[in-house]
């Protein structure tokens, strides 16, 4: 084992800051979704609230890799945390007396800033893994799985926190409390960040962001449709469906529905994170050559395809919001989360395996731009498909997107190094 104490300390500091960020990110998403649904926003209007968040993520990831290569990973981390604090404070100034159009535009703009913040922080922490993880005995897969899995578990707690804060403190105080906590963490990281991460190189060119590796490009395409398949039901469809099932329209009924929906979303994300963290062990990655893991990406995508296809058919055949359907949806979506987690962990490992150290921030940024693109497509289709065809169409769209992801994964080759 190669010991790199300074680099390891820096990695731990970056990861801790990233966890804190993702706690507020998950809480903010649940706050915005549930708060504006109770104000009477339609599914499409709710989806619009998150559209700029995803567009900003695409643009940020495209440029964040170059920014980190040029100015260093700590600079992009500090910027991400600072922008998120500002976005949370800005949401506190939202006026409930504004017209819906103005409210949507304002929240879209603030969510766009939050999207920039998230992807700056994400790219910093994910690139650090490639630079600091041990190379032997599947160390890279283990480290990236633990980072990504723990991050998603923390974000799941954030979903529950957001629902709880909305029900107890209300929207304005909830965002102000989160802004204050994150600001304290930003100051602590600024003061105490250990050395060990690269500071950037002046010769980095923006044109280097676009990869010439076929594997990086095909993996990025698979990522687009994998995450689109998740967000097409996750962002609007399922939360609004469960709200319709659980709430009787009273204030007490709304509070109970908030807690139950937030709890389900939290459990889903936490389960996703736990499985993701354990994916190397589930796949026996330590004893398998990289070529076998490349081939596993398509097989696991095909396994995932069966779940939304079955749920879509069941929803189509059900007579309204039957209790058995709700139970089936909960169980089926938890199964989707577990299989999705293995798919996601494989992707997160392969992008780092396919890239070289000297261009890791570029390839990781490009890959997460594709990730944000998938979330954007899924977010738009979530509101649109639910409003047009209900949950059956939403889940059917998810199945189709998983199928495309499997096709793209099938194009990956066993020679992973870029030209």
pLDDT at residue 10, as a whole number: 66
- The verdict on residue 96 lying in a domain is yes
pLDDT at residue 315, as a whole number: 92
pLDDT at residue 358, as a whole number: 62
What band does 6 get if pLDDT is binned at 50, 70 and 90? Answer: very low
Asked if 226 and 398 touch (Cβ cutoff 8 Å), the reply is no
CATH assignment of the domain containing 160: 1.20.1250.20
Asked if 29 and 175 touch (Cβ cutoff 8 Å), the reply is no
From residue 406, give the alpha-carbon distance in Å to each of 233, 299, 301. Answer: 19, 8, 5
pLDDT at residue 135, as a whole number: 58
Say which range, 110-124, 151-165, 278-292, 296-310, has the weakest mean pLDDT.
278-292
pLDDT at residue 200, as a whole number: 53
- The verdict on residue 213 lying in a domain is yes
pLDDT at residue 397, as a whole number: 96
Mean pLDDT computed over 367-386 = 86
Asked if 263 and 163 touch (Cβ cutoff 8 Å), the reply is yes
Q: Which long-range contacts (CB under 8 A, 24 or more apart) does 392-396 make?
A: 392/312, 392/313, 392/315, 392/316, 393/312, 394/232, 394/233, 394/237, 394/238, 394/312, 395/233, 395/237, 395/308, 395/311, 395/312, 395/315, 396/308, 396/309, 396/312, 396/316
- The verdict on residue 32 lying in a domain is yes
- The verdict on residue 1 lying in a domain is no
Asked if 405 and 225 touch (Cβ cutoff 8 Å), the reply is yes
d(CA 21, CA 15): 10
Asked if 226 and 409 touch (Cβ cutoff 8 Å), the reply is no
What band does 31 get if pLDDT is binned at 50, 70 and 90? Answer: confident
Structural domains of the chain, count: 1
From residue 394, give the alpha-carbon distance in Å to each of 230, 241, 307, 312. Answer: 10, 11, 13, 8
Mean pLDDT computed over 173-200 = 77
pLDDT at residue 3, as a whole number: 47
Say which range, 99-108, 128-137, 370-379, has the weakest mean pLDDT.
128-137
- The verdict on residue 202 lying in a domain is no
Say which range, 20-34, 137-151, 294-308, has the weakest mean pLDDT.
137-151
| 133 vs 62, residue with greater confidence | 62
Give pLDDT tens digits for 232-244: 998 888 888 888 8
pLDDT at residue 417, as a whole number: 47
pLDDT at residue 94, as a whole number: 83
3-state secondary structure string, the chain?
Answer: CCCCHHHHHHHHHHHHHHHHHHHHHHHHHHHHHHHHHHCCCCHHHHHHHHHHHHHHHHHHHHHHHHHHHHHCHHHHHHHHHHHHHHHHHHHCCCCCCCCHHHHHHHHHHHHHHHHHHHHHHHHHHHHHHHHHCCCCCCHHHHHHHHHHHHHHHHHHHHHHHHHHHHHHCCHHHHHHHHHHHHHHHHHHHHHHCCCCCCCCCCCCCHHHHCCCCHHHHHHHHHHHHHHHHHHHHHCCHHHHHHHHHHCCCCHHHHHHHHHHHHHHHHHHHHHHHHHHHCHHHHCCHHHCCHHHHHHHHHHHHHHHHHHHHHHHHHHHHCCCCCHHHHHHHHHHHHHHHHHHHHHHHHHHHHHHHHCCHHHHHHHHHHHHHHHHHHHHHHHHHHHHHHHHHHHHHHHHHHHHHHHHHHHHHCCCCCCCCCC
Say which range, 183-197, 246-260, 336-350, has the weakest mean pLDDT.
183-197
pLDDT at residue 398, as a whole number: 96
Cα–Cα–Cα angle for 354, 209, 69, nearest 5°? Answer: 90
pLDDT at residue 92, as a whole number: 87
If 0-12 CB within 10 Å is exposed, 13-18 middle and 19+ buried, where does residue 306 land?
Answer: middle
- The verdict on residue 419 lying in a domain is no
If 0-12 CB within 10 Å is exposed, 13-18 middle and 19+ buried, where does residue 389 land?
Answer: middle
- In terms of residue numbers, what domain contains 114? 6-196+208-410
Say which range, 58-62, 230-234, 305-309, has the weakest mean pLDDT.
58-62
Mean pLDDT computed over 7-34 = 77
Residues above pLDDT 70, as percent of the chain = 81
Say which range, 246-255, 366-375, 402-411, has the weakest mean pLDDT.
246-255
What band does 270 get if pLDDT is binned at 50, 70 and 90? Answer: confident
């Amino acid at each position: 084992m190669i010991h790199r104490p300074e680099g390891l300390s820096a990695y731990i500091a970056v990861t801790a800051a990233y966890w804190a960020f993702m706690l507020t990110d998950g809480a903010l998403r649940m706050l915005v979704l549930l708060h504006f649904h109770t104000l009477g926003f339609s599914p499409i209007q709710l989806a619009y609230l998150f559209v700029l968040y995803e567009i900003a993520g695409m643009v940020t990831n495209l440029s964040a890799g170059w920014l980190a290569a040029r100015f260093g990973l700590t600079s992009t981390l500090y910027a991400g945390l600072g922008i998120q604090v500002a976005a949370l404070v800005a949401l506190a100034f939202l006026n409930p007396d504004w017209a819906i159009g103005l409210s949507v535009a304002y929240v879209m703009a603030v969510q766009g800033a939050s999207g920039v913040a998230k992807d700056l922080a994400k790219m910093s922490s994910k690139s650090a893994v490639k630079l600091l993880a041990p190379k032997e005995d599947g160390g890279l897969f283990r480290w990236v799985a633990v980072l990504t899995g723990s991050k998603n578990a923390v974000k799941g707690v954030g979903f529950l926190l957001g629902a709880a804060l909305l029900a107890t403190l209300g929207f304005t105080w909830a965002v102000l409390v989160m802004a204050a906590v994150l600001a304290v963490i930003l100051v602590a990281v600024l003061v105490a960040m250990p050395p060990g991460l690269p500071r950037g190189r002046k010769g980095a060119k923006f044109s280097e962001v676009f990869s010439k590796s076929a594997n990086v490009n095909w993996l990025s395409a698979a990522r687009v449709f994998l995450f689109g398949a998740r967000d097409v039901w996750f962002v609007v469809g399922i939360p609004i469906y469960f709200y319709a099932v659980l709430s009787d329209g009273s204030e007490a009924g709304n509070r109970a529905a908030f807690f139950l929906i937030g709890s389900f979303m939290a459990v889903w994300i936490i389960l996703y994170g736990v499985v993701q963290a354990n994916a190397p062990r589930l796949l026996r990655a330590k004893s398998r050559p990289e070529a076998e893991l490349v081939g596993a990406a398509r097989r696991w995508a095909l396994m995932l395809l069966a779940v939304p296809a079955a749920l879509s058919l069941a929803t189509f055949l059900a007579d309204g919001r039957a209790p058995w359907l709700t139970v089936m949806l909960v169980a089926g979506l938890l199964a989707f989360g577990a299989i999705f987690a293995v798919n996601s962990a494989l992707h997160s490992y392969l992008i780092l395996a396919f890239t070289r150290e000297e261009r890791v921030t570029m390839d990781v940024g490009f890959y997460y731009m594709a990730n944000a693109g998938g979330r954007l497509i899924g977010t738009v289709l979530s509101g649109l498909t639910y409003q047009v065809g209900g949950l059956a169409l939403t889940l059917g769209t998810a199945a189709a997107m998983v199928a495309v992801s499997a096709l793209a994964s099938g194009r990956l080759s066993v020679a992973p190094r870029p030209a």
